[in-house]
Structure 1
Amino acid sequence: MIFARGSVEEDLAQRAQDMLEQTGESWASARFEGRDAILEGESLAERARQKVHSSLLNLFGVRVVEDATTLLPERRPFTFSAVKDGKIIALSGYVPSTATRQRILDTIKAEGFIVSGAENLVRARGAPPGDFAALVTFGLEQLGKLPAGRITLSDGALAIEGRAEDLATFDMLGSALRGPLPYGMSLARFAVRPPVASPFLWSASREGNILRLSGYVPSEDTRENVRLVIREVLPGLDVQDKTRLADGAPSTDLWLRAVRYAAGLLTISPQLQISLVDSAVTIEGQAQTFDAYGELAQARRKVPEGFQLKRFTVEPPRASPFTWQLERGNEGVRLSGYAPSEETHRLLNDAVRNAFPGAPVQDAIRLASGGPAPEAWAATSIFLVEQLSKLRAGQVSALEGEVVLKGEALDSAAFVQLERALDAPPSNLKVNSSVVPPDISPFVFAVRRDKDGITVSGFFPSTKVHELVLTTLSRDFLHEKVQDVSVIGAGAPEGFGAVVEEALTQLARLETGEFSLADTQLHLAGTALNATAVAEIEAEMKVRIRPPYTLSLEIHAARPGEHAKDVECQALMTGLMERGTILFNSNSARILRSSRSILDRLAYVLERCPAAHVSVEGHSDALGDPTSNQRLSLMRAQAVVKALEEIGVAKGRLSAVGYGDARPVSDNETEMGRARNRRIEFVVKEGAGQ
């Protein structure tokens, strides 16, 4: 017996351990003294103690069983908690058994986490029904999805808190914990916070009766409040809410006020999108009517407290036709029609205030789409405001690319400036202008000729008449210096241009003189170079100046000049021909009326040389055959001789010669050269006089 005791005790202990494990009562253990068993361990229930005692007593070879087990304390509530911080999970609370604790620890380590506080897990009675380790494992799986957080099991009720790293994880946790849970588990609290959204965006877009919500809301309660606001402000709409939870919103109260503000805007127009981005508001879309656009423009200035308007890009309604008009009158300036954008409207108003300082401005411009590009519209409108400022009264209107400007200029200088500006308008701009110069009364115009040159003063009715005056001065006068101080004006009597042209033709025959025109009263005074010219001027003027024009003349003949030597006469006549030209009809020997001025001066020079004999030479260009050229040049020289004799040059002093194209002075290959070759020359014959 002494030698067999050790093996008997070992055999009984092993068979007892196997039996306890097979019956699921591994919490208990047995040791033997001979065949007497001493049962030890902490039981979760009295019934388990009795079961273990009975099973061990019935084990073959056991004589008696001494029950030394104890009953574990019961914990109500039965709690378990795990706190995660990065890769570390700290444990505390109760477990029903050592095996359960080990399963929990093995699960945590298998996921790669570090366990802290395993010794804080205390065995106790009171665990919820079912597999407690499975409940804890499920909770730890959810906790592992958070960068930091906590789970707590209290009698099987799970509470989880922390912040999700992203929206996908947040949604995954929500689905897992609000779905079917392991047996014996319920959800006590879901306090996982969504990730911080930056920027925190909430958007509402309306298309007719459909309202789409997207972006983020800070909480489920806030989401419900948003729905209440929508139902109150926009009843009857089909709301499609795709918002998600996220942190990062402004103050909830202020944020809900902004939501109500956005809903109010959506009542104005059925095609809008309002976005709240952090503390900024953006308003986009299209207004259906001008009244709706006006309401939106007013509402943009009433953004709720704590928010500011970041962008307002609502497209105004389309205008067809897209017109606009500026009017200037005695009561100020009136703007009407449409502008393509707020910026262009502001630029237009700035231009009007600068162009008309102090003038009352009535602004009836409305914003509309369907017009030209804003940049082009702004450039055009600013240009036209500048032109309108040159009018005493008038208007400018634009209709589908056609611009009409009409009115009366402030003064003559303003009219000239306006015409120059309209000659070089902004690109692609065509302006139909019916602006008239200022009305002048009496309408006066004058041209004076003296030893210092020619002075033009007064008013002319159009640039056409002005060009006629300058052309006549260049053609009929001897390239004298012209000082032109005339300006344009309205109010000229009918036939003004023809009367001025006739007066200039006669003034050209005067050595010095002046004609003035006051409305229909024409006065011509001065000194003619010979009596023949005096008689012809008076006769022609009386025939050509017809009512309603009246004529007054004060013309007398100049005194004969001092006698000069032949060489002086030659220089005087050559000088005259360098400054003027005797003109003929084309391919004819008929002298033009405008050439009488230079003929008078040639005759006056010849009177100063009474004994001189002069050869009048005709020359032509090389066009045509030489015979015809010679004949025409001779006929023209003869016509000049005859005209001078009719003025008073004694017959026999002048002889005519035609050289045709035999003596060119320039190149016949150019028009200018040919014009120089077509000429009359005067040559004093040597020895003919002193």
Structure 2
Amino acid sequence: MRSRATLLTIAAFVLALVVSAVIAGGAATVVEKSTKQEVRVAMEAQGYGWMRVHTDGLQVILSGTAPTEAERFRAVSEVDKYVDSSRVVDNTDTQITKPITPPAFSLEMLRNENGISLIGLVPSSVDRDAIVEKLSKVAGEDGVTDMLESADYPVPGGWDEAMQFAMTTIETLPRSKVSVTAGKVSVQAITDSPSEKGRVETSLARRRPTDLKLSFDISAPRPVITPFTLRFLIDKEEGPHFDACSADTERARDHILAAARGAGAKGTLTCTIGMGTPSPDWAKAAQMAIKAVGDLGAGSVTFSDADIALDVPSTVDQQKFDDVVGELESNLPGVFSLKAKREPSPDAKAAQASFTATRDGDGHVELKGRVTDARERQTIESYARAKLGHDNVHGATRVDEELPAGWPVRTLAALDALSVLHDGKVTVTRDGISVNGVSGDPQASDTISRILTSQLGEDAQIDLSVKYDKRLDEVLALPTGKECVARLNDTLKKKKVDFDPGSAQVASESLDALDALAKSMKNCTDFKMEVAGYTDNQGREEMNLQLSQQRAQAVIRGLLDRGVLIGNLEAKGYGEAQPIASNDTEQGREMNRRIEFVLLDETPVGDDALPNATADATAGAEDGEPHWNGAVTDDGAPATEDAAQDQSGDGDTAAKPEQDAPQEEEIPVETPGDETPRPQSRPEDLSKG
């Protein structure tokens, strides 16, 4: 019993030890986790997120890299607030600090009438007192203002060499800025003249040490030119040349010299650049005036500030003089004033003063000649823009104070007359008004006559020559040449002209296509057009070319038989050229066998003004070549003596007739007039005329 009791006691003791160990281990784990969590949360809250926290039993192990040593110390000290320092294992470290980059040393020396100023950052080892002392001798009583700062870093390479060059340079330039960096010097300076500028630039370039980078901007003040002058002339001795030339900028100079070369000047041309120009538009005015002298071919133009004098000899045509001067006077910039003079010819009568207003077919209007003053010029141009289109009017008139009374009324009446014309010209002279032009209004002459007599009086001298053009008549609304061709080709798309196989004979089922073409030719016979024939690529190329020519002729003959005037139609065969579809399929070949109309001239012409142009429509090939009417022999060959040697080239298969088709008899064809009798019905066989 005693042994049993002893065993139970021992077992109870062992069990107590195990339970105690388990409880102690669990408690340690709980403490370890809670400590780790508490420290980690505290570090993140304090901004020490770089710190890593680990636990090993009761020990707290810290790791991570702090940005600075001070921050690492503060973080570890913060951990001591939560864990006894004896339990903390500090394995943290700090980032490796990069070496501090030396500053960019620079020095600026500014010299003017107030002395010399030094601004910048220099190495501490630089002897600033020696620099100030040396420059004080240069500045004299004005002295040196030292605003330099220094830094304790080594002197960079090239600094001493650059400083020595800069010190020497500032001594020679009383108005300058010299900038110094290691191995580089920049110089900005103002000199008294262009020649001094050149000397300074040469000196700097020669003194520059080999390893030193040097840049400089040396300027010289532009001279004040008063008055601002320019004189360009063309004479027999020297030709086109300058006596004087001034410009305000390099760009203006280049434009002026280019205008002189455009007027014929050669060799080396110079133009002084200076200050004092009367207007930013100086170059524009000079270009226009130089061009005017060049257009006249003789004379001179002289600028004195904004006053311009244009003088030409009597050899210059008066009308040309008026036109050129009017163009120049109307377009000069506002600040400039022009006085133009032509030497009178001792033996010639005074030229007739005139004003002309011209309108072309596109509506562009040009005003030339003479007006009484600048106000009348402005009034005329404004009225023309209101009457004839704001963007269509170009004025080139000149002022003549000796014009007769009532001149402004005549010029305005001339514009009213011009507005009736589609295109033409109205001229006002001392004696009267002449009107020449074209209009689509059959009553245009009456309208213009009423306008002029109502404004100028019944006794006004009026010369009218106005032609009526029916194609401009909006009431008739006649088609243009392009519209005619488009209409004819559209008709052919709807009703194609087909031919008998291997023949130039129009197929019977296509006769209504010729009827449709004849209707589409209405109001289109005044335009020169080409009737173009095409074939596919089946057969010989030479025969295809001949066949296409004769098919085009057959179409013209068909139109003639239907009463169409064909004097402006020309037949042209192109053979198998210019296909519009593939010749590899029957459908494509069918499309390539076609007739097309092509406009040769957009200007309408009357048939009566043309030679008889119908020979191609009735005769075969000219100049001795055989005529073929499209008929074939039993073996499919052309029924002509010479052409029988070749097989027909068109892709159509010729049907064999029982006998050879008879040779077509050529008939003379004349352009029908109004009295020409028209056919009563369509002939069944076009080949028989």
Question: TM-score, structure 2 length as denominator?
Answer: 0.33
The structure that has the greater radius of gyration is 1
- More strand per residue: 1 or 2? 1
Q: Give TM-score scaled by structure 1 length.
A: 0.33
